């Protein structure tokens, strides 16, 4: 199931079924098919080459649109560069702050205006068609091939409270995505729903990459909205939900639960799921998982068919876990 590179995986999906919809915007009828994704990624690779980006250059992704963010994340990593996604709600100073933390950016790509550009780094707009639009000075298009393995860089406070940059190389991202797709039993007929911010590791790996690995479809929303939630899941024929306990708690206490018959399971991560919240969704299988940014999201997960596991964090998925005392003993 695992492809050796992200570029070859994108090419494979396009060759198998170019019309297959990989990603949908939850708030419109806009979609990205496998064939369109291959074309868009190639166009962005040309723009990156024209900007003179060297191997592993940092590209800041500063977009409001979920489809633009997704295409750019895939284009940057598959091009051999480091993708850093700015949070949707961040201030206009955030790109420059992040650039300072990583000691300079190679390019900023956005749809919020060039006033958010980072000094010294070319700025490129995302067109309405998700292809490269207006370019900053010195960014002519030129043919390019991927320069090597790319990476995603995310910032996490961990246990110290001080944000730290975590670089996740392309092979690690694909390995974890493949383990998730296999564990969750995802296939071409699955339709996930992701209302989590694409600046976080969970939606980048579970919502986007696992979908690409499995050849399935994910409906992407920029944020969780309680109003019309179940209607949207019915309309889009959702088979699995990527959520966190805070979202599930809101759904459990506000209004009648009305999951579509197509829903196979709910996935919960990022924090423990309270028993009373889980019990409110009686009859719907859960996957509870534990992970961390440094592990590219999922490390352990429960089996949705094993009710005895539902209060734990499951078993290791694709790796090994040791439990040690404060003194370091196993």
What phi, psi does 145 have (nearest 5°)? -115, 150
Strands 58-62 and 297-301: unpaired
**DSSP symbols for 40-89:** HHHHHHHHHHHTTPPTT-EEEEE-S-HHHHHHHHHHHHHTT-EEEEPPTT
The answer for residues whose C-beta is within 8 angstroms of residue 6's C-beta and 6 or more apart is 74, 77, 78, 150, 170, 173, 174, 212
What phi, psi does 116 have (nearest 5°)? -100, 5
pLDDT of residue 309: 59
Angle in degrees, 0-180, between the axes of helices 66-78 and 170-184, rounded to the nearest 10: 120
Per-residue pLDDT of the chain in tens (330 residues, 90 and over written 9): 455 799 999 999 999 999 999 999 999 999 999 999 999 999 999 999 999 998 899 999 999 999 999 999 999 999 999 999 999 888 888 999 899 888 888 999 999 887 888 888 889 999 999 999 987 654 444 444 555 789 999 987 666 666 788 999 999 999 999 999 999 999 999 999 999 999 999 999 999 999 999 999 999 999 999 999 999 999 999 999 999 999 999 999 988 899 999 999 999 998 889 989 999 998 899 999 988 888 999 888 898 777 555 667 888 887 888 888 888 777
pLDDT of residue 113: 80
Which fold is adopted by the domain 34-167? Rossmann fold (3.40.50)
pLDDT of residue 299: 87
Task: Tell me which residue of 245, 302, 249 sits closest to 271, measured CA to CA.
Answer: 245
pLDDT of residue 140: 44
pLDDT digits (tens, 9 = 90+) for 64-74: 999 999 999 99
For residue 164, give Cα distances in angstroms to 101, 102, 155, 285.
9, 10, 5, 35
Helix (H, G, I), strand (E, B) or coil at 314: coil
For residue 291, list its beta bridge partners.
298
Residue whose tokens read 């190389």: 169
For residue 84, list its beta bridge partners.
60
- CATH class as words, domain 168-316: alpha beta
- Fold equal for 34-167 and 168-316: yes
Residue boundaries of the structural domains of the chain: 34-167, 168-316
Q: How far is it, in rounded angstroms, from Cα 295 to Cα 134?
A: 36
Q: How far is it, in rounded angstroms, from Cα 194 to Cα 205?
A: 11
């Amino acid at each position: 199931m695992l492809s050796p590179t992200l570029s070859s995986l994108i090419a494979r999906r396009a060759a198998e079924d170019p019309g297959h919809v990989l990603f949908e915007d939850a708030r419109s009828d806009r979609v990205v098919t496998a064939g369109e994704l291959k074309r868009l990624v190639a166009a962005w690779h040309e723009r990156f080459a024209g900007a003179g980006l060297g191997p592993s250059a940092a590209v800041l992704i500063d977009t409001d649109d979920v489809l633009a963010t997704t295409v750019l994340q895939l284009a940057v990593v598959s091009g051999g560069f480091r993708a850093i996604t700015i949070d949707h709600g961040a201030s206009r100073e955030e790109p420059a702050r992040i650039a300072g933390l990583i000691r300079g950016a190679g390019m900023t790509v956005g749809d919020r205006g060039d006033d958010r550009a980072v000094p010294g780094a070319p700025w490129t707009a995302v067109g309405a068609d998700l292809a490269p639009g207006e370019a900053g000075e010195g960014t002519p298009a030129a043919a390019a091939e991927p320069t090597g393995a790319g990476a995603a860089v995310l910032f996490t406070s961990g246990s110290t409270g001080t944000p730290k940059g975590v670089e996740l190389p392309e092979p690690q991202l694909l390995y974890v995505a493949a383990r998730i797709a296999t564990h969750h039993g995802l296939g071409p007929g699955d339709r996930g729903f992701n209302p989590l911010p694409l600046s976080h590791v969970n939606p980048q790996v579970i919502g986007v990459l696992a979908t690409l690995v499995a050849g399935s479809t994910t409906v992407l929303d920029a944020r969780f909205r309680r109003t019309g939630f179940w209607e949207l899941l019915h309309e889009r024929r959702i088979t699995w939900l990527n959520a966190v306990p805070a979202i599930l708690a809101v759904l459990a206490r506000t209004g009648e639960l009305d999951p579509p018959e197509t829903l196979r399971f709910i996935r919960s991560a990022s924090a423990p799921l309270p028993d009373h919240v889980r019990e409110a969704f009686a009859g719907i299988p859960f996957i509870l998982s534990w992970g961390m940014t440094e592990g590219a999201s999922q490390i352990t997960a429960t089996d949705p068919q094993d009710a005895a596991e539902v209060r734990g964090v499951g078993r290791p998925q694709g790796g090994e876990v040791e439990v040690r005392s404060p003194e370091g003993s196993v």
